[in-house]
Structure 1
Amino acid sequence: MNTDKAMTHLLHYGFILFLAWYCVACQAESPIEKVDNPQILQLLQGAEAQIGKTLSYDPNYRKLDYPNGDVPLETGVCTDVVIRAFRAVDLDLQVLVHQDMRKAFSKYPNHWGLKTTDRNIDHRRVYNLQTFFKRQGFSLPISQNPNDYLPGDLVTWMVPENLPHIGIVARQKTRDGKRWLIIHNIGRGAKKDDILFKYKITGHYRYFTTTK
């Protein structure tokens, strides 16, 4: 009898622990927001698909195919998250940035001492992506108001030690619903994190409108 009572108490306690864990797990992220624009949805799905697959960060220079050149999916840098997401909507930033740089090389920053374009790396540099999106008319004002940012937007930051960073605004918010999460790779692979206002924002870009 004592054994039966002990087992009953154990099962009851285990059930309470399960409910507590389940409630916490359910509240870990806000529900996924509806996105009406099919291109933005594809872009976000392309970014989300990298989570759990891109597991590391590797900034080493790589020789790439052209077009659609890429490093192995399991690795990459912050820009690769954006590049792969854009390819989900049939937009190859490797080609687009290269073509624009060929037309206006002097308009792009030259922190690397290059005298001509490099199809292996140009599109993988945050400064070049910032210049490209601004030149194409996709730049928006920088704001500290979370309502000014929408799923699919691109945000750039300057992280400590003056390192440029880029990510994509996700279609989920923080648990309190105050800020959009960001899909990015800052060193541990592709993740979805609450970093919108964690670092100094240096750019805000919207490639697609929110209408169908």
Structure 2
Amino acid sequence: MRFLIATFLLLSPLHAQSGPKLVEAARKQVGVTLTYDPAYVVMGYPGGDVPRERGVCTDVVVRAFRDGLSHDLQKLVHEDMAANFGSYPKQWGLKKTDKNIDHRRVPNLQTFFKRRGLVQPVTQNPGDYQSGDLVTCTVPPNLPHIMIVSDRKTADGRPLVIHNIGRGAQEEDILFMFPLTGHYRWK
């Protein structure tokens, strides 16, 4: 019986709708989030956010998860980091978690998604990327970046992405512009 219930949940329309819901929530940020602002901000927990008119690439993702799926990546990442701190990157010299910034760092999101078993193959085939997938890349010289794959495509079938790379939240054709470092699908 448990197997049947688990199978139903995996195949249910609710499961299939997470990608479109992420895209819809991310798209609603275009025209609202107008500025790229990486400043450290002390924020509430859980549910903390920087002002909606500003933020970075991770803020687009965090807001899409909150607004589209009712999942708080600030809380989820913090709890996983607190329980598994040694599994997360140490490049910022932290000795403990920081609820204000941990969820706003691409390498931490990559680690969280990997730990959740959400990794998908990184390819150059546009058909491998579904609406709502999360894709990370490195913007020269070495800046980690994260984007949400859109349901809209170019004339030749390449998915657009929704992200904030410096001009606020945008939906545009840059999926393969920079070296890809990760591909994740929320389940």
TM-score, length-scaled by structure 2: 0.90
Compare CA radii of gyration and give the structure with the larger one: 1
After TM superposition, the structure 1 = structure 2 runs for residues 1-212 of structure 1, keeping only pairs within 5 Å, are: 37-88=16-67, 89-174=69-154, 176-208=155-187
Cα RMSD of the aligned pairs, angstroms, is: 1.0
- 1:67 positional shift: 0.5
Amino acid at match of 2:139: V
Aligned length, in residue pairs: 172
Percent identity between matched residues is: 59
Structure 2 residue ranges without an equivalent (≥5)? 1-14
- 1:37 positional shift: 2.8
**Residue deviations 1:78-128, cap 9 Å, x none?**
000000000021100000000000111011001110000000000000000
Structure 1 residue ranges without an equivalent (≥5)? 1-35
Structure 1 runs of 4+ with >6 Å offset = none
- 1:193 positional shift: 0.9
Distance in 2 (CA, whole Å) between partners of 1:186 and 1:145 is 23
**Residue deviations 1:112-145, cap 9 Å, x none?**
1000000000000000000000000001111011
Amino acid at match of 2:81: M
Amino acid at match of 1:73: R
Distance in 1 (CA, whole Å) between partners of 2:66 and 2:143 is 25
Distance in 1 (CA, whole Å) between partners of 2:17 and 2:159 is 19
TM-score, length-scaled by structure 1: 0.79
